[in-house]
Amino acid sequence: MHNAGGPPICRAASKLTARRVSRHDFAILLSAPRNWSKLALLFVIGCSGLALYNLGLRHAHPIIIAAILNLSPFWAALVARVISRKAIPISPFLFCACFLVAFVGAMLIAWSQIEDSSSASPDELLKSLLHGSWKYATPIPIFFALSGTLVGHWFRELDESATMAANFIVSAAVLIPGTLLAAYLWSVPAVPSDGKEAVLLLLIGTLSAAAAGRVFYQVALTVTDNDNGFVTMFFLLVPALSSLISLPLSWWIPELRFAAGPMFFGGLALVAASLFVFSSRSW
C-alpha cells in the first residue's frame, strides 16, 4: 500500500479535501465534539444498511432485492417530509404515477440483465418471496435516505466533500482496527501475493466510486434544499446505467454480460418518459 501512495481510505479523504474550503470545513467537523455523536450515528446507519444488504442476498431472488432497492424514492420522500419538512414538489397523484411507471421500467431493466431469468418460474419467485431472506433488505432504502437527509440537515452550511471525508475517516477509525482484530481472532487466511494487487485495486476503485457518488448525492440535496424525494427519483436510472456501463467493460471482461433486448429498451423507455414528466413538472 505504501507504493500505491498510502492507504486507500487516506487517499480518498485527501482527494475529497483537495480544496481549501474543504480542508477548513473538514477540520471544523472533526474538531468540534458536538459533531462526533452525529458522525457516529451516520456510521451506524451506514453499517446497518450494508449488514442488512448482505443478509438479504443470502436466500432471496436478486429481482426481489432489486425491487426493494428501487423503492428508494418512496421512502426518501417520506424521510424528507419527516426530518426536513420537505413537501413533494408535485401533486402526490402525479408523483405516485411517475414513480410507479419508472419502478416498472427499472424492474424490467433489472430482469432483462439477470442471467437465465426466463428459467425462474413463478413458483420459485413465490417461494423466495414467502420464505426468502429479502425481508432483511427492506429497511435499506430508508437507511440510505436517512443518511443523506441527516447529513444535509446537520451539516448544511459545510462543504459536502468535507462532510464525506469526515465520514470516511470515522468509518476507517472503526472498521480497519476491527477488521484486523477479527482477522487475528478468527484466523482468516492470508491473501496470496498474486492477489494483493487485485484487492488493492478493488479497494481504491470502490472507495473512489463511493466517495464521488456520495459527494454528488449530497450536492444534489444541497441544490434542492434537502429534497430527498426529488433526488432519489433519479436513482431509478441505476439499473439502466449499470447495464450500459457493463457494455464497454464486457469487451475486456468476458464474465460481464449485457443483454440489449426488447425488455431492456422497453424498461429504459418507461424510466426515461416518467422521469422526463416528473422533472419537467417539478421545475
- Band of residue 14 on the pLDDT scale cut at 50, 70, 90: low
Distance CA 70, CA 100 (A): 10
Distance of alpha carbon 207 from alpha carbon 212, whole angstroms: 8
CA dihedral 67, 68, 74, 79 (to 10 degrees): -160
What pLDDT sits at residue 24?
Answer: 80
C-alpha cell at 116: 437465465
User: What digits encode the pLDDT tens for the residues 192-205?
Assistant: 666 566 666 666 66
Query: How many separate domains does the chain show?
Result: 1
| Distance, CA of 8 to CA of 195 (rounded, Å) | 16
In a domain, 161, yes or no: no
Q: pTM of the entire structure?
A: 0.70
**Residue 241 covered by a domain:** yes
Helix pair angle (238-249, 92-112), 10° resolution: 30
Name every residue whose Cβ is closer than 8 Å to that of residue 125 and which is 6 or more positions away in sequence.
61, 63, 64
Q: Would you place residue 1 in the very low, low, confident or very high pLDDT band (cuts 50, 70, 90)?
A: very low
CA angle at 92 for the pair 219 and 74, rounded to the nearest 5°: 50
Give the span between the Cα atoms of 144 and 74, in whole angstroms: 12
pLDDT at 123 over 70: no
Quick one: pLDDT band at residue 220, thresholds 50, 70, 90? confident
CA distance 167 to 35: 11
What's the CA gap between 105 and 100, in Å, rounded?
9
Closest by Cα among 170, 210, 181, 139 to 41: 170
Cell numbers that stand for 256 in this block: 460481464
| Per-residue pLDDT reduced to its tens digit, 141-195 | 888 888 888 888 888 787 778 888 888 777 777 777 877 777 777 766 666 666 5
Quick one: cell of 61? 431472488
Whether residue 88 is contained in a domain is answered as yes
Largest CA distance in the chain: 58
Q: How far is CA 248 from the centre of its chain?
A: 22
Q: For the residues 76-98, what does the mean pLDDT come to?
A: 83
- Predicted local confidence at residue 186, as pLDDT: 74
| pLDDT at residue 235 greater than cutoff 80 | yes
In this structure, is residue 7 part of a structural domain? no
Domain-located, residue 199: no
Q: Examine the pLDDT at 4 and tell me if it is beyond 50.
A: no
195 occurs within a structural domain:
no
Rounded distance, CA 113 to CA 239, Å? 9
On whether residue 174 sits in a domain, the answer given is: no
Distance in angstroms (rounded) separating the CA atoms of residues 67 and 62: 9
* Domain extent at residue 52: 34-156+226-282
For the segment 42-54, what is each residue's pLDDT rounded down to a tens digit?
Answer: 888 888 888 888 7
When the pLDDT of each residue in the chain is averaged and rounded to a whole number, the result is: 76
Q: Where are the beta strands (DSSP E) in 116-185?
A: none
Q: Quick check: 105 and 267 in contact, CB under 8 A?
A: yes
Distance CA 279, CA 157 (A): 26
The answer to the question of residue 43 being in a domain is yes
